[in-house]
Amino acid sequence: MKKKLVLTLFVLFGLCCFVAFKIDDDPFSALIKKLEAYNQQNPQEKVHLHLDKPYYAIGDDIWFKAYIINATTSLPSEISNILYVELINESDSVKKQIKLPVIGGFTWGDFKLTDSLAEGNYRIRAYTQWMRNAGPEFFFDKTLKIGNSWANKVFTRTKYSFSEEKNAEKVNTQLTFTDKTGKAYSSNEVNYVVQIDNKNVSKGKALTNSNGEISFDFLNNRPELKSSGKITATIELPGKKKVVKLIPITATSDAIDIQFFPEGGNLVENIPSKLGIKAINSAGLGKDISGSIVDNEGTEITQFNTTHLGMGNVILNPQPGKTYTAIVKFKDGSDQKIKLPQALPGGYVLSVNNLDTSKISVKIYLSSNMLGKGELKLLAQNNGNVFSVFTTKTEKQLVIINIPKKDLPMGILQLTLFGPDNKPVCERLTFVQNQTDLTNLQVQSDRKTYNKRDSVQLTLTSTADNKPVQGIFSMSVTNTSVVQPDEDNESNIFTTFLLTSDLAGYVEKPNYYFLHKDPAAQNDLDNLLLTQGWRRFSWKTFTGNTNPPVTYKAEKSLAISGTLTTLGGKPIEKGKVSLFSSSGGLFMIDTLTDANGRFNFDKLLFSDSTKFVVQGRNAKNKKNVEIKLDLVPRQVVTKNKNTGDIEVNINEAISSYITKSETYFDELTKRGLLQRTIMLNEVNIVEKKNKAPNSANLNGAGHADAIITADQLGTCTTLSQCLQGRVAGLMIRDGKAYLMRNGNTPMRIVLDGMNMDADFLDNIVPQEVETIEVLKSIGNTAIYGMNGGGGILVITTKRGGGNYGSVYTPGIMVYTQKGYYTPRQFYSPRYTPESGSQPDLRTTVYWNPQIITSTSGTAKVGYFNTDQSGTYRVVTEGMNRIGQLARTVYTYEVK
C-alpha cells in the first residue's frame, strides 16, 4: 500500500517548488476531512470471480474463486462475511443462487449446468448485502456464453439485416433450424414472437423451407432508443414435440453513435483542448471512424481518426464566436454531422500527459478572466484515498504540476481541480502503471513437455519488493486446443479490481490494456478514461450536509433477527423468543429481547433452505405477541450492461468447444457419472383433485388415512377442538392427539415439513391451516420410522409454501431462510499403470481454488494430464496478505 502524500505548489519566478503543508480548518480542508471520514465509516467492497473457463456447455460445471476487497484499504475485505452468487439467464431471471461464507475476503463455489437449462448468454453476478448500498452497477457481473450440443436437438443460426422504413428501423430476420449434424428441419411449423425492450412488436408463424429457413421483418418504431430484445421461436418437431429457442436481438440498426468529450469537462475559448472520441455501434461495440472538424463558416480546422475500438482524440483550440461540427465519413459514401460542445468564454482546462513512466504531467490552463481570483487546488485520489493535494495561485495562465508515480497505487487516479470557491471545476481520470504495487507471481513446472496422463508438478513462487510473501491464489488449467482463450477480452483480477469496477458502462476487451505495455496501448487506455466516465465517486456526496443512507447492513454471519411487539405494535422488553428447527437434527435456542423489543440469533450455521419456527412470549409468558422478522428484499435483476459480449449465435460461436465437450459428456453418461433429464411426451391426465397439494407428507401429498381441509376448520378455536370426534380412532387428551390403539403415545406433528412436539398442536390457529393429513395405518406411518409409532399429523398452513415467513398465530412464525451452499470438490484423477483405459476428456484439466504459499513464498501443486494433446494453459490469480494483486499465465506442451 502506498503512503499518502500531501503537497502544496507555489509558482515563483516561473519555477515550481513543492512544500509539505498541514491541513488547516479551512473549507477545503474540511471537505477533505469529510471525504476521508466518510470512506472510513462507509468503505466500499469490490468482488472478483476467477472462473475456470471463459465459456461453457450445458452439462459442464462452473468453478469459481471469489476475492472480496475493501476498496478503500485495498486489503482483503473484513466488512462482509457472506457473498451471494447468481446465475442469470437471457431473460434476466435468476436460475440459481448460492450463499457462501467469506473468510478473510475469500470463498469459492460452483454451479452445475444441468440439461434443464437452455443455451444462451448467461450472467454470473456476485455481491454482498453491503455492496447493495452503492447499487448493482458495482456488482461483479460477467456475461458467459453457454452452448448446448449434448442435450440439444435443434440448432439455430440467425442473421439480421437493417434498413429504414419511414421513421422506423426495419429488421429483416433469417432463422435457420438444423439438427446437430447440420441437417435442415424442412417443412416444420415455427411460431415466433418478437420483443423489443420487453414489448411485443411482432408475431407470426411460418414453415421452414428446404434449407430449414424462415424469414420475416419487424419494425422498431422508437429508433431514438438503443433498443435490444429477443425472439422466442417455437418449432414443432415430428411427434408434435415443441422446442423453444430464445434468440437475442442486440441491435435494430447499423447506426453508429459518436460522442466527443472535452478533457477535464469543458472547452474554453482560446485554450487548446483535447477532445476524446468514442464511436460505438448499436450493439455497444467500438467502430473505428475518421473525419474532420469544420467551423461555422465551413472551414476545415483539423482531421481526426480513432485508433482502437472506436476511441481516439483530437486537439482543438476553439475561437471566440465560433461553433464547431465534426463530419464523419462512412464507407458507403454517407456522412454524419455531430455538433461539438460549445466553448465557454472563460474557465479552466485540465490536461494530463501520462506517457512518462516516472511521473504524471498535469497542465492547468486558465483563461485571462480567471487570473488573480485566488487559489486553485488539484486533488489526486484513488478509491476515496487522498494521495496528493496541490495548491497554486491564479497568477499565470499555465501551471505545470508533475506527480511522481512511485508514490501512487496501481489503478485509476482521479484528478479534480477546485476553483477559488472550493467547488470542482475540472476532473480527469488517468491510469497509474506501478508494477511495484503488485505481487510478482511465477509458476514453474518440473518439465516443459509431457505425455498424455503424465503427472505434472508445479511450483508457485510469490514475492514483493524482491522478498518472499505469503499469498492466497486460485489456479485453473485448460487445454487451448479445447478451450481457446480470447486473451484481450478476458476478465481477471487486474481488470476487475483496477479498471472496470470503477468505470461506467461496458468496457470492451479490458485485458488488452494489461497485456500490452507499449506506448500505443497506454495511449489507448488514456483514451478509454477520457471517454468512459467515472462512476464510483461523486463530489455531490460530500458537498451536501447529509451522507447517503445505509439501507443494507454488512452481514457478519447467518442470522435471524426481528422485533417482538404487542398486538398493538408496542415493543416488548425482556420477552422470550425461541428458535426451533428440525432440519438436519433438532435445534433449539432462546434469547431475551432488549428495551426496543429487538432480538437477534446470530452466528448460525445451516445449509441451503432451512425451515425454522420462531416462537415469542412476553415477560409473563403470554403468547399474545407479534413477531416481525427483519426480511431483506431480494436484489432485482438489472438489464445486462455487457451488451458487446452478447452473442446472437451461441452454439456457432463456440462450436468447436461444445462438440468436444459432447464427447466428454457422452463418456460420463456411459459410466453413470452424468444423467440426462428424461423428457416425456405430453399426455392429458384426468385425475381427482389432490386435497393437500402443498403438504410435506413423506408418502406423497394427499396420501393419508384422512384429510381435513380448511373449510372444515372454520368453526373451532383450537386444532384439538377441530380434531375431536372428527376422525375415527383419534382422541384428544390434554391438548394432544392420540390414536386409541396406541394408548399413551401421542401423535407426532409435522408442520410444513418440520417435526414438532405433540403439545405444539394448540399453538396453531385453525384459520391459518390449509390441510391436516391424518396418518394412522402402518402403511402410511412406516416411512416415518420410530417417530411414526403413535401416528402422524401432517399440517400444512395456508402460507407454508412461502419462501420467507408465514404467521400462524400470535407468538408463532414459520420462516425459511437460505443457508450456506457447500461447494463440491473438483475431481482430479490419479493415474497408475493399473488405471483403466476409459478416455479422459476433461475440459477443465485442473482446478484448485485455495493455494496458499508458505512464509518462504512457495507452494506446490500436482495433477495429471488428460488424454488430449495440446498447449496446456495454467492461469493463476490471487493476492498477498496485504492486498497486492497477482496474476500469471504459464503454458506447457502435451504430446
Query: Which residues in 850-870 are b (16+ Cβ under 10 Å) and which e?
Result: ebebeeebebebebbbbebeb
**Secondary element (H or E) of residue 650:** helix 650-653
Over residues 408-437, the pLDDT tens digits come to: 999 999 999 999 998 899 999 999 999 889
Look at residue 288 and tell me whether its pLDDT is greater than 60: yes
Look at residue 803 and tell me whether its pLDDT is greater than 70: no
Look at residue 547 and tell me whether its pLDDT is greater than 70: no
The pLDDT of 638-642, averaged and rounded, is 91
CA 375 to chain centre: 44
C-beta separation of 763 from 623 below 8 A: yes
For the chain, the average pLDDT equals 89
Query: Which residues in 602-630 are b (16+ Cβ under 10 Å) and which e?
Result: eebebeeebbbbbbbbbeeeeeebbbbbe
The pLDDT of 211-226, averaged and rounded, is 89
Q: What is the DSSP letter of 680?
A: P
Look at residue 804 and tell me whether its pLDDT is greater than 90: no
Q: Which residues contact 450 (CB under 8 A, 6 or more apart)?
A: 456, 865, 892, 893, 894, 895
**Pairwise CA distance, residues 866 & 453, whole Å:** 5
DSSP track, 298-360: S-EEEEEE--BTTEEEEEE---TT--EEEEEE-TTS-EEEEEPPPPBSS-EEEEEE--SSSEE
pLDDT band of 9, cuts 50, 70, 90:
very low
User: How many other C-beta atoms can be found within 10 angstroms of the C-beta atom of residue 120?
Assistant: 22
What is the amino acid identity at position 513? Answer: Y
**Pairwise CA distance, residues 355 & 352, whole Å:** 9
Look at residue 753 and tell me whether its pLDDT is greater than 80: no
Over residues 311-369, the pLDDT tens digits come to: 999 999 999 999 999 999 887 788 999 999 999 999 999 999 999 999 999 999 999 99
Over residues 845-894, the pLDDT tens digits come to: 999 999 999 999 999 999 999 999 999 999 999 999 899 999 999 999 99
Q: C-alpha grid cell for residue 142?
A: 460477467
What is the amino acid identity at position 700? Answer: G
The pLDDT of 186-193, averaged and rounded, is 96
Q: C-alpha grid cell for residue 755?
A: 417435526
Look at residue 395 and tell me whether its pLDDT is greater than 90: yes
Over residues 26-72, the pLDDT tens digits come to: 788 888 888 877 777 888 899 999 999 999 999 999 999 999 999 88
Q: Write down the pLDDT at residue 16.
A: 39
Q: C-alpha grid cell for residue 395?
A: 497568477
Give the number of residues written for the chain: 895
Over residues 526-544, the pLDDT tens digits come to: 999 999 876 666 676 666 6
What is the amino acid identity at position 75? Answer: L
C-beta separation of 819 from 763 below 8 A: no
Alpha-carbon Rg for the chain, nearest whole angstrom, is 33
End-to-end, the C-alpha distance of the chain in Å comes to: 44
Q: Write down the pLDDT at residue 22.
A: 43
Please state whether 234 falls in left (phi above 0), alpha (psi between -120 and 50) or beta.
beta
C-beta separation of 779 from 703 below 8 A: no
pLDDT band of 179, cuts 50, 70, 90:
very high
**Pairwise CA distance, residues 800 & 819, whole Å:** 18
- Tell the burial category of 728 from Cβ atoms under 10 Å away from its Cβ (0-12, 13-18, 19+): exposed
- pLDDT-wise least confident of 530-539, 682-691, 705-714: 682-691
Q: Which has more confidence, 722 or 891?
A: 891
Indicate if the alpha-carbon torsion angle 503, 509, 510, 514 is positive or negative: negative
C-beta separation of 374 from 298 below 8 A: no
> Among residues 418, 394, 379, 557, which one has the least CA distance to residue 5?
379
Q: Which has more confidence, 274 or 167?
A: 274
Q: C-alpha grid cell for residue 726?
A: 372428527
Q: Which residues contact 872 (CB under 8 A, 6 or more apart)?
A: 477, 478, 479, 480, 845, 865, 891, 892, 893, 894
**Pairwise CA distance, residues 781 & 700, whole Å:** 12
Look at residue 3 and tell me whether its pLDDT is greater than 50: no
Q: C-alpha grid cell for residue 385?
A: 484515498
Which of 196-200, 319-323, 543-547 is modeled with the greatest confidence? 319-323
pLDDT band of 685, cuts 50, 70, 90:
very low
Q: Phi/psi at 535 (nearest 5 deg)?
A: -135, -20
Over residues 591-603, the pLDDT tens digits come to: 999 999 999 999 9
Q: Write down the pLDDT at residue 447.
A: 94
Q: C-alpha grid cell for residue 190?
A: 415455427
pLDDT band of 584, cuts 50, 70, 90:
low
Q: Write down the pLDDT at residue 811.
A: 85
pLDDT band of 548, cuts 50, 70, 90:
low
The pLDDT of 489-517, averaged and rounded, is 95
> Nearest 5 degrees, angle CA 183-CA 90-CA 514?
100
